[in-house]
Structure 1
Amino acid sequence: MPYLVAAVILVGVLVIIDLILTLGVIQRLREHARLLTQALEGTQSVADFMLPAGSPLPGLRATTVDGTAAPDTGPLLIGFFSPTCHACLERLPGFVSYADAFDGRVLGVAVGAPEDVGDIVAKLRGVADVVIEQVDGPLAKALQVKGMPAMATVGADGVVVASGFELAALPSLVTT
Structure 2
Amino acid sequence: MAFLVVALVLLTALCVFQLVLVLAVLRRLREHESRFEQLAKAAGPMGASDPAAELVGRRVPELAEHTGGSPRTVGFFSVGCEACHEQAPEFVASAAATGASAIVVGTPADELAGLLEGVQTVVTGAEGERLMKAVDIKAFPTFLQVDGEGLIVRAGIAVAELPAVAPAL
User: Same fold, TM exceeding 0.5?
Assistant: yes
Q: What's the offset of the Cα at 1:59? A: 2.6
Q: Are the counterparts in 2 of residues 149 and 166 from structure 1 also a CA contact under 8 Å?
A: yes
Distance 1:43 1:121, change over 3 A: closer
Q: Counterparts of 1:119 and 1:57 in 2: how far apart (Å)?
A: 28
Specify the alignment match of 1:17 in structure 2: none
Q: What's the offset of the Cα at 1:157? A: 4.7
State how 1:75-90 maps to structure 2 within 5 Å: 75-90=71-86
Letter in 1 for 2:57: G
Specify the alignment match of 1:56 in structure 2: 59
For normalisation by structure 2, the TM-score amounts to 0.62
State how 1:141-160 maps to structure 2 within 5 Å: 141-160=133-152
1:130 aligns with 2:134: no
Q: Are the counterparts in 2 of residues 155 and 161 from structure 1 also a CA contact under 8 Å?
A: yes
Percent of residue pairs identical: 30
Distance 1:158 1:70, change over 3 A: closer
Q: Are the counterparts in 1 of residues 141 and 158 from structure 2 also a CA contact under 8 Å?
A: yes
1:140 aligns with 2:136: no
For normalisation by structure 1, the TM-score amounts to 0.60
Please say which structure displays the higher CA radius of gyration: 2
* 2:91 partner SS: helix
Q: How many residues align?
A: 130
Specify the alignment match of 1:66 in structure 2: none
Deviations, residues 117-172 of structure 1 (Å, cap 9, x unaligned): 212212223222111136x9210111110010011011235321211110132124
Q: Which runs of 5+ in 2 are unaligned?
A: 1-32
Deviations, residues 1-22 of structure 1 (Å, cap 9, x unaligned): xxxxxxxxxxxxxxxxxxxxxx
Letter in 2 for 1:58: P
Distance 1:172 1:158, change over 3 A: same
Q: Are the counterparts in 2 of residues 70 and 107 from structure 1 also a CA contact under 8 Å?
A: yes
1:111 aligns with 2:105: yes
